[in-house]
C-alpha cells in the first residue's frame, strides 16, 4: 500500500492487508477445488443427482452445465482478490463501504460456522470407525451420552476438532500444503475403493441411473434445471469468498487454468467415482448406500476399511478448512482487525460450531433446510452486488489505499463508511429470494439466482449516478 491516504487500524492488520508475494500457482488453485469437492457431502450430493430419475447422459449434461456456471462465477469473484491481493471482506468494501462490508462478511461467516460444525461431525464418524477397528472395546462408550451425543461421539468430534485446529494454527502455508497433497491422495484411495467395490459387484451390475423412475420430455428438463441449480448452490459459499484464496495466486491466467481443472474436470471425475461406488453397493449389500462412511463400515476388508475411513477423514477436513475455517477467519477479523486476528477469527467460528451442537442440526434436516435456505437467499444478492459493482460500476479498477482508510477522500467511504444503496439492494433482493423459497416453494431451488439477479438489477439502477461520476472522472484524467 502507498501512503497517499492514512491507513486506519480499524480496517487493517497483517492478515487483511494485500498479499504481495502471491506464491500460489495453478496447481494450488486446482488443489483448492479438489479439497472442496472431495468430501462426504460431495459424495452424497453427486449420488443424489443421479437418483433424480434422469438417465446418465442427462445427469452428466446437468453436471457439466452447473459446474460451468460455477466456473464462470469463480473466475468473476476471484479476479478482484487476485488483482488486489486482498481477502473477500476487504474486496466487499468496494461495493458496501469500508464498514458496510461487515454485513456480507458476517453473513458468510455465519454460514461457515454452521457447516464447520456439521462437517466436523461427519468427519468424526470416519474417525470412530478407525477407533473401533483398532480398539473394539471402546464401543461400550456409545451407550451413554452427554448433550445428546454419546461419549464415543464426543471423543471422535473432539479429536477432529483438535486436528483441524492444529492444521489451521500453522497458517495459510500449512493449509496450502495440506490441500496440495490431500486431493491427489484422496483420488488414489477413491480409485482403490472403486476397483474393490466393482470387483465385488461385477461390472455388469454397475449403472449410472440410480433412480427408480425414468423421466423424459418436459419432466426431464425440469429435473435437469433443478440439478443445475443444485450444483451452483452447492458451491455458492466457497465461490463467494474465493478471493480469500485467489489473493495468493501469481496471475489471473494461472487462476483461470486452476479453476478449469479444479471444477469441471475434477467435479465430474469425482462424481463418476462416487456413482460407481454407490451403484456397486446395491448388489454387494442388497440396498443402495449413499453414505460412504456406512459403505466403508460394512466392508469386511480391514485394509479397505482403514483406507476408506482415513480417506473420508482427510476429505472432510480438507473441505472444512477450505470452505468453513478460512472464510470466517477473515470475515470475523474484518469486524475488528486490531482485536481479532486471522487465527482468532477462525477459532471463534470453531468454538461457535460446538455451541450449535451440530449433531442435533444434522439429525434434524428440517432445521438445516430452513437455516441454509435463509442464509443462501442472502448469498445470491451478494454475488449480484459485488460482480456488478466491480465489472460495471468500477470497470475493474481498484484503489488499494481507499480499501484501508477512514478518510472521506477514499472512494469507498460513501456515507460514513457504508454504501446504503448496496444494503438496500441486499435487503430487498434477500426478501424476494426468501419469499420465493418459503411461499413459492417450486422456486426454492432457484433462490440463489433470483436473489442474485434481483440485487444486480437494483444495485445497477441505484448506482447509475456514481457510475456516471466515475466515468466523468476518467474522462477528465484523460484530457
**What's the pLDDT tens digit per position in 116-127?**
888 888 888 888
The domain tally of the chain equals 2
In a domain? residue 5: no
pLDDT in tens, 391-432: 999 999 999 999 999 999 999 999 999 999 999 999 999 999
pTM of the model: 0.88
Domain-ending residue, one of 317, 335, 363? 363
81 and 130 co-located in one domain: yes
Q: Are residues 460 and 330 in the same domain?
A: no
Same domain, 172 and 298: yes
429 near 384, Cβ under 8 Å? yes
Per DSSP, which regions of 164-217 are E strands? none
**Banded model confidence at residue 72, pLDDT cuts 50, 70, 90:** very high
Residue where a domain stops, chosen among 363, 384, 399: 363
Q: In the prediction, which pLDDT does 473 show?
A: 64
Query: Which of 363, 391, 411 is a domain's end point?
Result: 363
Asked if residue 223 lies in contact with residue 52, where contact means CB atoms within 8 angstroms, the answer is yes
Question: 251 with 311, same domain?
Answer: yes
Residue 16 located in a structural domain = no
In a domain, residue 4? The reply is: no
Query: Do both 283 and 386 map to the same domain?
Result: no
Co-location of 359 and 375 in the same domain: no
* Cβ atoms of residues 373 and 184 within 8 Å: no
Same domain, residue pair 370 and 353: no
pLDDT digits (tens, 9 = 90+) for 313-336: 877 777 788 778 888 999 999 999
What SS3 class is residue 105? helix
Same domain, 353 and 379: no
- Domain containing 122 equals 26-363
Average pLDDT over residues 438-449: 84
What pLDDT was estimated at residue 479? Answer: 55
Residues 6+ apart with CB under 8 A from 400: 1, 2, 18, 84, 86
Domain-embedded: residue 71? yes
Amino acid at each position: 500500500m502507498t501512503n497517499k491516504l492514512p491507513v486506519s487500524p480499524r480496517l487493517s492488520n497483517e492478515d487483511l492487508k494485500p498479499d504481495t508475494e502471491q506464491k500460489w500457482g495453478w496447481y494450488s488453485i486446482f488443489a483448492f477445488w479438489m479439497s472442496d469437492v472431495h468430501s462426504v457431502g460431495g459424495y452424497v450430493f453427486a449420488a443424489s443427482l443421479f437418483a433424480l430419475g434422469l438417465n446418465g447422459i442427462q445427469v452428466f449434461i446437468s453436471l457439466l452445465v452447473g459446474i460451468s456456471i460455477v466456473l464462470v462465477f469463480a473466475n468473476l469473484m476471484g479476479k478482484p482478490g487476485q488483482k488486489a491481493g486482498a481477502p473477500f471482506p476487504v474486496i466487499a468494501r468496494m461495493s458496501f463501504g469500508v464498514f458496510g462490508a461487515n454485513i456480507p462478511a458476517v453473513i458468510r461467516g455465519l454460514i461457515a460456522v454452521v457447516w464447520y460444525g456439521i462437517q466436523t461431525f461427519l468427519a468424526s464418524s470416519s474417525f470412530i470407525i478407525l477407533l473401533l477397528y483398532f480398539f473394539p472395546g471402546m464401543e461400550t462408550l456409545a451407550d451413554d451420552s452427554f448433550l445428546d451425543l454419546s461419549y464415543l461421539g464426543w471423543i471422535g468430534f473432539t479429536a477432529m476438532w483438535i486436528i483441524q485446529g492444529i492444521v489451521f494454527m500453522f497458517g495459510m502455508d500449512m493449509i496450502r500444503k495440506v490441500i496440495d497433497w490431500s486431493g491427489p491422495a484422496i483420488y488414489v484411495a477413491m480409485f482403490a475403493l472403486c476397483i474393490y467395490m466393482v470387483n465385488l459387484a461385477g461390472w455388469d451390475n454397475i449403472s449410472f441411473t440410480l433412480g427408480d423412475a425414468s423421466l423424459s420430455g418436459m419432466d426431464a428438463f425440469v429435473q435437469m434445471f433443478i440439478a443445475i441449480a443444485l450444483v451452483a448452490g452447492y458451491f455458492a459459499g466457497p465461490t463467494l469468498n474465493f478471493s480469500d484464496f485467489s489473493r495468493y495466486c501469481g496471475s489471473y491466467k494461472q487462476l483461470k487454468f486452476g479453476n478449469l481443472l479444479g471444477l469441471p474436470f475434477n467435479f465430474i471425475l469425482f462424481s463418476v467415482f462416487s456413482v460407481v461406488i454407490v451403484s456397486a453397493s446395491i448388489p454387494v449389500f442388497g440396498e443402495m448406500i449413499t453414505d460412504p462412511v456406512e459403505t466403508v463400515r460394512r466392508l469386511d476388508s480391514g485394509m479397505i476399511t482403514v483406507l476408506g475411513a482415513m480417506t473420508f477423514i482427510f476429505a472432510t477436513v480438507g473441505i472444512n478448512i477450505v470452505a468453513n475455517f478460512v472464510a470466517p477467519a477473515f470475515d470475523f477479523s474484518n469486524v475488528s482487525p486490531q482485536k481479532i486476528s486471522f487465527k482468532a477469527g477462525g477459532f471463534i467460528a470453531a468454538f461457535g460450531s460446538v455451541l450449535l451442537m451440530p449433531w442435533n442440526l444434522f439429525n434434524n434436516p428440517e432445521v438445516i433446510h430452513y437455516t441454509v435456505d435463509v442464509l443462501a437467499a442472502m448469498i445470491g444478492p451478494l454475488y449480484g452486488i459485488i460482480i456488478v459493482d466491480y465489472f460495471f460500476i468500477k470497470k475493474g479498477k481498484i484503489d488499494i489505499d481507499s480499501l484501508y482508510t477512514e478518510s472521506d477522500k477514499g472512494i469507498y467511504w460513501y456515507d460514513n463508511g457504508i454504501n446504503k444503496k448496496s444494503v438496500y439492494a441486499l435487503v430487498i433482493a434477500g426478501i424476494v429470494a426468501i419469499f420465493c423459497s418459503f411461499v413459492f416453494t417450486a422456486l426454492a431451488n432457484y433462490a440463489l439466482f433470483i436473489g442474485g439477479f434481483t440485487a444486480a438489477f437494483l444495485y445497477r439502477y441505484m448506482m447509475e449516478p456514481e457510475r456516471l461520476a466515475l466515468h466523468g472522472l476518467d474522462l477528465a484524467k484523460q484530457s
